[in-house]
Structure 1
Amino acid sequence: MTTKKSAAKTAVEAKSTDAKTSKLVVSDAGKEIDFRLDQHGEYEFGGPFGVLAIMTGFPALMYYLWICLWFYDGQLVHPNSLEEVKPFLAQMWAHICKDANPSLYAWKVYGGNVIFQLLLAMVMPGFKQEGLPVPSLGYKTLIYNCNALYCMYATMVTATVLHTTGLFRLTEIIDNFGHLMTVGMIFGISIPFGAYFFAVATGTQMRMSGNFIYDVFMGAILNPRIGPVDLKMWAEVRVPWVIVFFLSVSGGCKQYEELGYVTPNMAFMILATWLYLNACGKGEECIPQTWDMYHEKWGFMVIFWNFAGVPFSYNYSVVYMSRHDPSDYRFSTPVYVFMFGTLLTAYYIWDTANSQKSRFKMQTQGINTFRKSFPQLPGGTVKNPTFIQTAHGNRLLTSGWWAYSRKPNYVADWIMSFCWGAIIGFATPIPYFYSMFFITVLVHRVGRDFERCSAKYGKDWERYCEVVKYKFIPGVY
């Protein structure tokens, strides 16, 4: 039986020299495990009925929360009796039809942004990054053109020119929130069905359950591409976070036009969303090393959230601030200092933890030259990392932030999400939806991830859990 002391010793003895000088080699037993994991097993998310409830329930919930913010001062309205249910629903529907219909303006702005981002991804230069070996492709590695940073700044320059010339006023984005959200939902709902039928028609489907709705939700295709653009990675970065950032900028522009200044709260959201967008761009080469790229298929679960869920439910605080007087959410100077300090500290941990893990994975592939883009934070690469060598062939990092927690990036990410709601205090509970939903997703994802790791690594995973004891917060959980 492996003791905690011997497990820790094993991890310490496995030094980075090995990681830097040898490439990842998957054993025959590891390939057998990967093959089993690439087959459909048990239903997740409650099976076909569960995913159908998610596919219909989340759009309805997003409309409800938007209506509460837009028309009812952020209060969670509801019928008080059964007799009021029908008129209540009729009123909800009337709000959607009038103020959230897919207007021509929304189609031009949302659709134009999607097309613009796709064209930029096709033509802008970028850093060529090799992804992890994909078991379903016979352990072939795909090359990703990481040009999100160039595309992001090209978008900012374009938006600045359009705004200053009056051709497109950024203040109009937040004013058309409902209309844009509906168009985003149309994209988020229709693309998964299109991706499913394309995969079936081209014979590129994999890990299928045989249930149509479930397979549309989970996805049928793993690595959809248009030319040099990996659609899954493109949609994860270029669509949601660009919209989230410009919604915040729109809120700031609206405040400046109406008040003559931008409140610290709105400035906080502009900074927070820029940090996230910029991190996705400057660290895009780390994304091919993630589970999302080499295992998660491109289905409703991923697509809807990228095209509609993230951009129109993560920054409710901006929506609230754009429609309320600053006196409703003003803080004292010490509170602002605390909020900005917490955000920047959490961002540092999140950024460097993600970088440490991804660059360690790159080292196992023999990649030792890393892209440097602004801002490069100290501690992004672990020197002389320790790890546990698994019989599968993979290595489990036990250094840096990953020595204290199995998911330190998730903890920091959640703290940032909580700050996005807390920046307006207790004026309304709706901006806290992001953090409440996010913690549910993270806990569920960790369960899926750890279950898969246990099946994949067996006793080596048990050894790893002995060395890195805590899932999230060291000493707590």
Structure 2
Amino acid sequence: MELPLNGSNGELRHRNVATNGNGKSAVTDEGRKMDELLDNHQTYEFGGPWGVTAMMIGFPILMYYLWICLWFYDGKVVYPTSTEDIMPFLNRMWVHVRDDASPNAYAWKVYSGLFFYQLFLAIVMPGYQQEGLPVPSLGYKTLMYNCNAAYCLYATIVTAAGLHYYHIFRLTEIIDNYGHIMSVAMIYGFAWSFGMYFLTVATGNQIRMSGNFIYDVFMGACLNPRIGSVDLKMWAEVRIPWVIVFFLAVSGGCHQYEQYGYVTPNMAFMILATWLYFNACAKGEECIPQTWDMYYEKWGFMVIFWNFAGVPFTYVYSVVYMASHDPETYRFSTPTYVFLFTLLLSAYYIWDTSMSQKSRFKMQCQGMTEFRKTFPQLPGGTIQDPEYIQTSHGNKLLISGWWRYSRKPNYVADWVMSFCWGVIIGNATIIPYFYSVFFITVLVHRCGRDFERCSIKYGKDWERYCSIVKYKFIPGVY
């Protein structure tokens, strides 16, 4: 199809990413009206109030159940075998939760210590100042983000290493107290979700409300919660879940070393995989203000509980299994290890660079020409002379780099990594595959929300974009 290079709206442009002359993306009057429409509650998602209530109750139960299956039943998915067995089965599950996942003093000390240490580091550490996207609900004001996660990451690693070395806090104990710490994480998730809702409503800062209490708690009331220079939404997305995920993997490695005198390649894989993700979020933190999470998603139970408890205690089931089972149950051949490490690193490269391409393109649209340099900077992270579609809204839709071949190349690569986190224990148990199965469900639903919103926002320009970037996920497939 022949693509015109000139025109007023819906045009394809390249080389210079135009702004309104002041280094800011220009939003047209039509765009402002559409943004005002989208900043109001339109329809219920996730099955409405009943659906979100079921999720708020059901997901913690599921987390307990899967952990119990891994830790106490050899990774088998257990269930009642008859109607007479239902009550005894439920009683056994409850006993495990009561005795092995109680929110004891140790768990409160560990989780609270990490939580407030991360908040302290976020407040005091120097960082890179990154301007966010113009926020329609703030009159297109842009917020500044203090991106200091990289400093906080290494400060946390050094602190943990020191505490472990001097036997003040042994990292091995984290995996041994998985259930107890998970319960405290859940309590934090619920407490902050309801607390932020009431605080936001009390101060009159709520946005996009439905009027249904439980639904608004789930979706959130506030958009940009802050403590001083710390954006709580961005802080919680990076500092809490990925710190815990990484140290759970490290704890599993320490557990293996103390028990067997070595760390298996499978556990080393998970330590590397979790570090890559943790470090990527930290070293590319300046890209996060350009994302849907910061720009549009509110800070409610859906995001808070998931960051505080869901991510750290459901993504590393493979680590939990390996820490409680003989390595012979999941050992692979050398070529298999080479393949898995290669697949992980290849997917990571695509994920890292595609996220960087999209975020730096948005920065270019705001007049930025110099970008932060942190380790590791991968080739291909910045597109020179990017092609894009200029929309009548005023925004620009990128159609260069990885984004020429898929509307969500970052999601595809992200999912491949999640699948690797399950494959690393082979067919020993299906439970570690929960992450990738759940993740693809979330991604497909999220894309549906995103694409529907873009269709409303950009109209014919979105149709034009879809005619150029035909595939939602995998080029040539879907």
TM-score tier, shorter chain, comes to over 0.9
Contact 1:8–1:467 at 8 Å: present in 2 too?
A: no
| Paired position in structure 2 for 1:220 | 221
Shift in Å, 1:12: 8.5
| Paired position in structure 2 for 1:262 | 263
| Paired position in structure 2 for 1:476 | 477
TM-score by length of 2: 0.98
Q: Sequence identity, in percent?
A: 72
Please give the secondary structure, in 2, of the residue aligned with 1:45. coil
Q: Which whole-Å CA distance do the structure 2 matches of 1:178 and 1:306 have between them?
A: 17
Contact 2:387–2:398 at 8 Å: present in 1 too?
A: yes
| Paired position in structure 2 for 1:14 | 13
Contact 1:192–1:303 at 8 Å: present in 2 too?
A: yes
Q: Which whole-Å CA distance do the structure 1 matches of 2:63 and 2:256 have between them?
A: 24
Please give the secondary structure, in 2, of the residue aligned with 1:42. coil
| Paired position in structure 2 for 1:145 | 146
> One-letter code of the match for 2:107?
A
Where do residues 126-165 of structure 1 align in structure 2 (5 Å cutoff)? 126-165=127-166
> One-letter code of the match for 2:238?
V
Shift in Å, 1:407: 0.2
Shift in Å, 1:451: 0.1
Matched, 1:248 2:233: no
- Large movers: runs of 4+ above 6 Å: 7-12
CA shift in 2, pair 1:266/1:88, >3 Å: same
> One-letter code of the match for 1:374?
F
TM-score by length of 1: 0.98
Shift in Å, 1:214: 0.1
Contact 1:7–1:466 at 8 Å: present in 2 too?
A: no
Where do residues 43-442 of structure 1 align in structure 2 (5 Å cutoff)? 43-442=44-443
> One-letter code of the match for 1:355?
S
> One-letter code of the match for 1:368?
T
Q: Which whole-Å CA distance do the structure 1 matches of 2:148 and 2:309 have between them?
A: 23
Please give the secondary structure, in 2, of the residue aligned with 1:129. strand
Q: Which whole-Å CA distance do the structure 2 matches of 1:86 and 1:401 have between them?
A: 53
Structure 1 residue runs of 5 or longer lacking an equivalent are none
Contact 1:7–1:463 at 8 Å: present in 2 too?
A: no
Structure 2 residue runs of 5 or longer lacking an equivalent are none
> One-letter code of the match for 1:354?
M
Q: Which whole-Å CA distance do the structure 1 matches of 2:11 and 2:272 have between them?
A: 39
Please give the secondary structure, in 1, of the residue aligned with 2:145. strand
Contact 2:3–2:12 at 8 Å: present in 1 too?
A: no
Q: Which whole-Å CA distance do the structure 2 matches of 1:8 and 1:43 have between them?
A: 40
Shift in Å, 1:415: 0.1
Shift in Å, 1:16: 3.2
Q: Which whole-Å CA distance do the structure 1 matches of 2:11 and 2:352 have between them?
A: 24
Q: Which whole-Å CA distance do the structure 2 matches of 1:29 and 1:158 have between them?
A: 52
> One-letter code of the match for 1:14?
R
Q: Deviations over 1:246-304 (max 9, x none)?
A: 00000000111111110000000000000000000000000000010011000000000
Contact 2:11–2:390 at 8 Å: present in 1 too?
A: no
Contact 1:245–1:273 at 8 Å: present in 2 too?
A: yes
Please give the secondary structure, in 1, of the residue aligned with 2:313. helix
Q: Which whole-Å CA distance do the structure 1 matches of 2:159 and 2:265 have between them?
A: 26
Q: Which whole-Å CA distance do the structure 2 matches of 1:135 and 1:215 have between them?
A: 20
CA shift in 2, pair 1:98/1:210, >3 Å: same
For these two proteins, the number of residue pairs brought into alignment is 474
> One-letter code of the match for 1:135?
P
Please give the secondary structure, in 1, of the residue aligned with 2:357. helix
Q: Which whole-Å CA distance do the structure 1 matches of 2:298 and 2:369 have between them?
A: 28
Shift in Å, 1:13: 4.7
| Paired position in structure 2 for 1:451 | 452
> One-letter code of the match for 2:75?
G
**Root-mean-square deviation (CA), in Å?**
1.2
Contact 2:125–2:151 at 8 Å: present in 1 too?
A: yes
Of residues 377-386 and 17-26 in structure 1, the stretch that sits farther from structure 2 once superposed is 17-26
> One-letter code of the match for 2:252?
G
Q: Which whole-Å CA distance do the structure 2 matches of 1:27 and 1:442 have between them?
A: 30
